[in-house]
Amino acid sequence: MGEAVVLWRRLVGAQIRSQFQYRFSFGLTIVAQFAISFLDYLAIVVIFHNVPRLAEWSVQEVSFLYALSCITFGITDLLIGHFDLVPQLVRNGNFDILLVRPRGTLFQIVASDFQLRRLGKAAQGAIVLVYALASLHVRWTPWRVVVLAASIPSGILIFSAVWVLFGCIVFWTTDSGEFTNAFTYGGNFLTEYPIDILSAWLRRFLAYLVPLAFVCYFPALYIFGKPDPLGLPRFLEFMSPVVAVAACAVAGLGWRGAVRHYRSAGG
């Protein structure tokens, strides 16, 4: 495990150095990434320009959900966003190369294409988080601090599990990976808003079965001390870390099954 971390740092360090070689382009991509998330946030501002509350949620509360979603999704994208390259590897048969190297396939993909520019999204989320927390007047208790601190790693693990698990589909469909986008980028979009505005069937599917509600919604309810508009059991507000670990276990098993199913394209 320790050796894997050392190797990861060396591989990623080399990629970061190479990205600094094209400074103008690198700077521009960071600005672009920042601008994209800013425009996403502007969409929320535009909606609240028309209504004081979205269902039972104020602009500060939705800003908090948005910020937490951006930070966790942004960091996930930074760490494993290059999973989007797997469909290409499967289609052209280059996945073979990963199988013959003396390291796990998952590890090799994670260490393969680290793009520092993706930090732009998380950085923008952090700015919105500061605004949301400053304007929300949260009555901080030790437990609320714990729930907030735990929600970030939990959210990253849940998003990562979703990315890996739904990325496995490509071993069967050999498509361009767009199915996966519905759950990864779609998951980012979904968690920016409160889930009680969704219809019941969509919520069951995307918030509970795919456990996206545990990224922002449940931790936020606890931190705000807000009664759940859906009237769900309160212990769920503490469950994000447990759900995150469980989701990763399922994703790990799914990945092993998928790799075993891989048939080389014979490239």
CB 31 → another protein: shortest distance, Å? 7
Stretch that binds another protein, among 123-131, 175-183, 230-238, 259-267 (CB under 8 A): 175-183
For the four alpha carbons of 24, 29, 30 and 35, in that order, the dihedral sign comes to positive
Stretch that binds another protein, among 30-38, 123-131, 214-222, 251-259 (CB under 8 A): 30-38
d(CA 160, CA 228): 26
Beta carbon nearer to another protein, 36 or 134: 36
57 phi/psi in degrees, rounded to 5:
-115, 135
Exposure of 28 in the CB half-sphere (CA atoms within 13 A)? 4
Stretch that binds another protein, among 52-60, 97-105, 224-232, 248-256 (CB under 8 A): 52-60
Q: Is 16 in the site for another protein (CB under 8 A)?
A: no
d(CA 54, CA 35): 24
Identify the residue whose tokens are 């030790």: 142
Which member of 1, 5, 51, 209 binds another protein (CB under 8 A)?
A: 51
CB 53 → another protein: shortest distance, Å? 6
- Supply angle C-alpha 38, 40, 45, rounded to 5: 90
Q: Which of 142, 156, 120 is nearest to 32 (CA)?
A: 120
Burial of 142 by CB count in 10 Å (0-12 exposed, 13-18 middle, 19+ buried)? Answer: exposed
Q: Is 95 in the site for another protein (CB under 8 A)?
A: no
Number of shown-chain residues binding another protein (CB under 8 A): 44
Site string for another protein, 182-221 (x = CB under 8 A): xx--x--xx--x---xxx--x---x---------------
Q: Which of 224, 190, 203 is nearest to 72 (CA)?
A: 190
For the four alpha carbons of 129, 132, 135 and 140, in that order, the dihedral sign comes to negative
Which member of 181, 245, 249, 267 binds another protein (CB under 8 A)?
A: 181
CB 232 → another protein: shortest distance, Å? 18
Which member of 12, 54, 119, 232 binds another protein (CB under 8 A)?
A: 54
Beta carbon nearer to another protein, 31 or 253: 31
d(CA 243, CA 235): 12
Stretch that binds another protein, among 97-105, 135-143, 172-180, 248-256 (CB under 8 A): 172-180
d(CA 80, CA 76): 6
Beta carbon nearer to another protein, 22 or 140: 22
Q: Is 174 in the site for another protein (CB under 8 A)?
A: yes
d(CA 198, CA 206): 10
CB 82 → another protein: shortest distance, Å? 14
> Which residue ranges make up the site for another protein (CB under 8 A)?
22, 24-29, 31-33, 35-36, 39-40, 42-43, 46-47, 49-55, 173-179, 181-183, 186, 189-190, 193, 197-199, 202, 206
